[in-house]
Amino acid sequence: MATRKHATASADPGPTIFVLFGATGDLAKRMVIPAFYRLALEGLLPRQWRLVGNGRGDVAHEDFRKHVHDVLTEFGPKPEQPAWDKFAQRLYFAGGGFSSEDPGSLLDVLAKGKAALGGSPQFVHYFAVPPVAFTELTRALGQHKLAAGARVVYEKPFGTSPKAFRELDRAVHSVLAEEQVYRIDHFLGKEATQDLHVLRFANGLFAGMWDRKHVESVQIDVPERLGITDRSVFYDATGAVLDMLVTHLFQVAAEVAMEPPASLHADDLQAAREKVIRSFRPLDPAEVVLGQFSGYKDVPGVAARSKQNTYVAARLWIDNPHWRGVPFYLRTGKRLAASQQRVSLVLRKPEGPLAAQLPDSGNVLSFSLAGDGEIDLSLVAKKPGAGLALDAATAAIPLAGLRDADPLPPYVRLIHDVLIGDRSLFTRPDGLAAVWKVAGPLLDNPPRVLPYAAGSWGPAQARKLIAPGHWLLGQ
């Protein structure tokens, strides 16, 4: 991939030192390091920058560069000359861990970086570590005077329970101001997720039908074929509810349901998203189906008697005048029959002379969130011929096919937003507090975890949850 200047590149944000905690972990190698290299190829990094990896091991700079090269060879973009050489010379590693009591070698490596870049570089600290480490790392930043003026990226989940969220939020705000905090949810960085509100607010045709009068139900469906082999310890402590439902799926539901923001400024977008989350009705455990795929307990790292959920389907209600009475069906799981990421607005069938002939698959507006994204509109049309036979037809708009389109993967987009200080696509604590309130009844009194066969569409009870309707995927 040749180096090029991205069409949306902004003014140079100035010298920056990007500190990647958990630099040799699974998240860093699969998401963060490839995203950072893509930013370099796109010309979206500052003119002066360094990436400093941090971990407990004592790793030489050259060994870390080799690790990054191996990561990019496996996950891409492929490290090719001369771009790789320019990138590699800015990679450094600080070993010995990092805590309030012992900063390891990080302070020394950062001091050398500041001297090399000159002036007062912007620090961006990225926590690609398990949530249990967030509090101590945050306190250590304050203890070692690395917090002032810095931007700090927290991976999800931001807390693992209402109590853990409140404790973490207090710890974070004891060290950082809210404008320094970037709570990442990569579903908000997806091109098609952003088109959820762009399509609605920029097109009168859709703005007029985006309410309970015209929408019968909403489906947010994220099945995955993948298992949890590479992250089994993390997953067995988290499960589908915490890993996906209270993070990605709730945030996407808010994108669908939010009222028009006052502007597209970060504060207004965040406020609109958080306001509608406060209207989410707390989940009724009787309206939730939990499952665990067969063979889960045989995965290395999973407890032998684990009752962790790997599947969740839930019916969510939004108690405001715009959406009252419209069910939002949320579903996700591991080792399912397909991998998709789709948001679908099922429109009410119009009354009139053709009502009895309308096919079930028509009148659906859907968004594929996977890859570069796609908008699909399923319409009912007359089949050409002598009779009056109706059928559904789909018009598809691949977003990458728009003129001069140059889509960025979610992590690339979001890390770039951190570098330029744009918090539009990041979550706020008031919205997260509301999310935990919504999830509270489910976490306190979860239904029984039901078995399902790997490669299926999950427990059969999920079909009853959505009846008399049906899941658009897998039916």
Rounded mean pLDDT of 39-44?
A: 96
Rounded mean pLDDT of 152-171?
A: 93
The β-bridge relationship of strands 311-316 and 374-382 is unpaired
pTM for the model: 0.90
Give the count of beta carbons closer than 10 Å to the beta carbon of residue 363.
20
pLDDT of residue 355: 64
Tokens of 311: 């599947």
**From 125, 197, 248, 416, the catalytic residue:** 248
Closest CA to 333 of 223, 464, 245, 226: 223
Tens-place pLDDT, residues 89-148: 999 999 999 999 999 999 999 999 999 998 799 999 999 998 899 999 999 999 999 999
Tens-place pLDDT, residues 217-234: 999 999 999 999 878 988
Angle, vertex CA 45, rays to CA 43 and CA 50, nearest 5? 135
Does 248 participate in catalysis according to the annotation? yes
Tens-place pLDDT, residues 430-453: 999 999 999 999 999 999 999 999
Buried b (16+ CB within 10 A) or exposed e, 194-212: bbbbebbeeeeebeeebee
DSSP per-residue codes, 92-103: EEE-S---SS--
Confidence check: pLDDT of 4 > 50: no
Confidence check: pLDDT of 335 > 90: yes
